[in-house]
Structure 1
Amino acid sequence: MENLMSDQTGSKVLHWNMRLHIISGIARGLLYLHQDSRLRIIHRDLKTSNILLDSNMNPKISDFGLARVFGGDRVEANTIRVVGTHGYMPPEYAVYGSYSVKSDVFSFGVIVLEMLSGRKNREFFEEQHHHNLLGHAWRLWSEGRPLELMDSFMRDSVIISEVIRCIHIGLLCVQERPDDRPDMSSVVLMLNGERALPNPRQPGFYPHEVGSSTSKHELSSTNEISISLIEAR
């Protein structure tokens, strides 16, 4: 899917109904991994390049090389070896090595905002400010201008209320605190219009919330590949 997102021709092919179809399919796939599978699976490296599309544009989550499997009631864990891709990792994982199903929810939210805007979080640049894509989306939302986030290539095919709902859901998924993010069962209901949407809080890595210049440098990397970091002792 990454090739379609990074190419203007591909972006033109992805009209609104198709993007919504892909977003909904990824959500259902994550719901299966987190809840409906016999064992709970946390992907830990969910990103556009790990979403494959079949001939009918149905999304398939791929590359489970970094995934972790939980049994029983276990829902979270910690590691000193942080692996994943900058731009998709949530703050609690990138900084503290803490991961859970809410880590995948954060990554899903990034993908949603990327699909709506046609722009990549780790490559995002806006002359008017220094925010990443998440911060840009939050700023537009806070100023009552959410539709300015929308990819110009799909403007003629959109249903405005659906776009705003998806932006809202994307922002809920990338909130700073894991406890504030919805689980995937709630996300699926929200996408179907079957659950009310609470007001989102500011996203992870929003500049005012980053505690140190080191964190800012590490978390704004444009590295395209998966990374492996060892926390300082």
Structure 2
Amino acid sequence: MTRRPLVGITCYVEQARWGVWDFRASLIPQAYVDAVTAAGGRALVLPPDTTDDAVLDVLDALIVAGGVDVDPARYGAEPHPSTDAPQPLRDAGELLLIQGAFARDLPLLGVCRGAQLMAVARGGTLIQDLPSGIHREVLGVFSSHPVRAEPGSGVARILGDAELKVNAHHHQAVDDPGALVVTAWAEDGTIEAVEDPTRTFAIGVQWHPEMLDDPRLFVALVDAASQARVL
């Protein structure tokens, strides 16, 4: 039997409750795992670890998940009053994996915070508090808004270059993409996707595709991982 592509998913570290227990936990919304499984992959949850990036040598693809704001010190900025308290271990661990994925040309998908970290890893900066409310209108509820993809980009090849309808729940976004290329925008000009066109698959999206009824980004990631294993 051919092994399914192994897709690592970085995870949150938060106080969590289940049954009678209330502990710090490494966790991820099940929607990420379901999306990878439905696309033909096998999900592996990756808690933060700053020792090395050797786990990438056994993975076929990497997803950097959403979560709390990136520490502004990572891109040389002072924190805005609205910026979350930093999580140094998660920032450091995910940046290590992102840099390692770029170096190995490992298929890489960044989601929300993950897209922002991809830009920071390539020398970019972030907007710490967006002036527009379309990206997070109600706490705990995804907003919906249109996105325009650059024709010919990776995002457009996967999702089409017609206007896309995406979900959102964020107050930060990429400002300067660094060495990455911007390939999608919201109607207010907010950067919605970044890519490294020199890599086989390196795409970051500001929305949450795992929560949409559209598997194409995950299918494309798993397909890229499958093809890389054959080569």
Alignment TM-score, normalising by the size of structure 1: 0.26
Higher strand share: 2
Q: Which fold has the larger relative contact order, with Cα–Cα distance below 8 Å and residues 6 or more apart in sequence?
A: 1
Higher helix share: 1
